[in-house]
Structure 1
Amino acid sequence: MSSATTSDDQIKKAFLETQSKISDYTRQLNAVKTQLSLKDREGRLCDLTHKELASLPKDTGAYRAVGRMFFKADLSVLADELKVQSTEAAREAKALERASKKIEGSIIDAQDNLKELLKKRQEL
């Protein structure tokens, strides 16, 4: 009888640990998804701004915001900076997508472990 209670206690302990892991993974996944949406927004904003700058005549005066000041800059320089920012945002978004897939896989594994623990508990 004591071996049954010991194994039952071990199953309960493993169950609680697995639930804790799932909640941690879920928090991580939400954080990654938030970062991913911010990077997507940043990339879209850069692309839209680049399109607007491309439609302007070359001799148009343009200014870049730096803190609370504005500095005059050439349109070509601004366009190049926007391209770099856009590609950087896309690269970071891809990395975040990979991290998201990895965390989702970890959640699935932890859920499978929970199912196995429940089956063991029912067998006792």
Structure 2
Amino acid sequence: MSDEANRTAFMEIKGRMIETTGKLKQVHNQMRNKEGENKCAYLTLEELRQLPDDTNTYKSIGRTFVLEPKSILMNEQEQKFKDSETAIAALQHTSNEYLEKQKAEVENNLTELLPQDPGLAQQIMSVTVM
């Protein structure tokens, strides 16, 4: 391969690596948010379970609190808990795994490209060291 073709291939691989890494970070942030929602719903459920059935419970709607039966609040929290677990599983099994495979593929492409052009590897190292 010519020197210019190797540089072009490297720039393409570099762009794909940046894109894949960004998407992977976004998926991790979404998973972290859903885990927080999951924990909040779980803790709320645990507190509601400790209350007697005839206790007045209130639901927060913005800055307002509305009187709601305990059973309705528990059902809502259970649904939030289930929804967040489903979302976490979907993010883990589809997006995260796919992006991890993409990242590994890009890294393989890079490791295959560098031995073909030692000059390119030296240029990359000199740019990253500075």
TM-score normalized by the length of structure 2: 0.86
Alpha-carbon separation, structure 2, partners of 1:10 and 1:74: 69
Residue 70 of structure 1: CA displacement? 1.0
Which amino acid in the other structure matches residue 37 of structure 2?
Answer: E
Structure 1 residue 114 and structure 2 residue 122: aligned?
no
Which amino acid in the other structure matches residue 90 of structure 1?
Answer: E
Residue 87 of structure 1: CA displacement? 0.4
- Deviation >3 Å, runs of 4+: none
Which amino acid in the other structure matches residue 76 of structure 1?
Answer: S
Residue 32 of structure 1: CA displacement? 0.8
- RCO higher in 1 or 2 (8 Å CA, sep ≥ 6)? 1
Structure 1 residue 59 and structure 2 residue 54: aligned?
yes
Alpha-carbon separation, structure 2, partners of 1:102 and 1:31: 13
1:33 pairs with 11, 15, 28, which one?
28
TM-score normalized by the length of structure 1: 0.90
Count how many residue pairs are aligned between Structure 1 and Structure 2: 118
Residue 50 of structure 1: CA displacement? 0.4
Q: How is 1:17-96 mapped onto 2 (pairs within 5 angstroms)? A: 17-96=12-91
Unaligned runs of 5+ in 1: none
Alpha-carbon separation, structure 2, partners of 1:41 and 1:68: 21
Alpha-carbon separation, structure 2, partners of 1:112 and 1:121: 15
Residue 40 of structure 1: CA displacement? 0.6
Which amino acid in the other structure matches residue 90 of structure 2?
Answer: A
RMSD between aligned residues: 1.4
Structure 1 residue 12 and structure 2 residue 7: aligned?
yes
Structure 2 residue aligned with 1:102: 98
